[in-house]
Structure formats: structure tokens, C-alpha cells
Amino acid sequence: MKESTMQLLKKFEQDYEIYVDAQDAMTYWLVYARVQKGHGGDVHHLHHGKKYVSGPNQEGSVLVLSDPFVSDTYSVESWGPMATFDEFVKKALASILAGKNAADAGQENGCGSSCD
């Protein structure tokens, strides 16, 4: 992973309060994000996870697992060509932020008040 990508991950975590782990395992790439649910004033904050898996030979196909530790649901998305792990990370961060913004605006399916 390039130094610029490591700095991008740190800045993303600081700016959006989303923990992100990225791993380049040669044959596959993995990005895991823990996104905070809700904006309550409670000391305890709930998080949901989202995992993105692809690889250098996947031709832009990305396996997206929503809450992988809670559910077995997944989807497959096409993100276009990604020649490097660093490109994958940048596209994953864009997807994470888009999902967070949609959830904050009430446009994404959620668990409603039962999450709190």
C-alpha cells in the first residue's frame, strides 16, 4: 500500500469517524469499515460493518457484505477497472461515504429505532 493511501485512510477515519481496515493479501483485496449508527448523545455508540472484497483479477467485480458478523447477505457490484490495491481502496472509501450519507439522509434501508 502506498504511503499516500495510508494517509488517505487516516484522514478518512478522522474526518468521518469511520474505522477502516484495508488489507492487500496478494490474491485478494479487503476493506472493512465500521460505520457509526445514529447520532445520539449516548456514551455507547452502535456500529455496523461493511466488508468489500475484490482482487487484481476480478475485472472490477466487488463482493459487498453488509454487517458480515451479523448476517450472511451480500451483493456483487461492478466498480470498473482497478489495476492496483490503492485504486480499490479509493473506490471503497467513496462507496462507504456514499452509504453513510444516504443513511444519514434516511435514504438507505436501516433498522429504524430498533438499532438504538
Q: Domain for residue 114, yes or no?
A: no
Q: Domain for residue 115, yes or no?
A: no
Band (pLDDT 50/70/90 cuts) for residue 21 is very high
pLDDT at 78: 97
pLDDT at 11: 96
Is pLDDT of 53 > 80? yes
Is pLDDT of 75 > 60? yes
Q: Domain for residue 95, yes or no?
A: yes
Split into its structural domains, the chain has a count of: 1
**Domain housing 35:** 3-109
9 CB-near residues (< 8 Å, 6+ apart): 20, 22, 89, 93
pLDDT, the chain, mean? 84
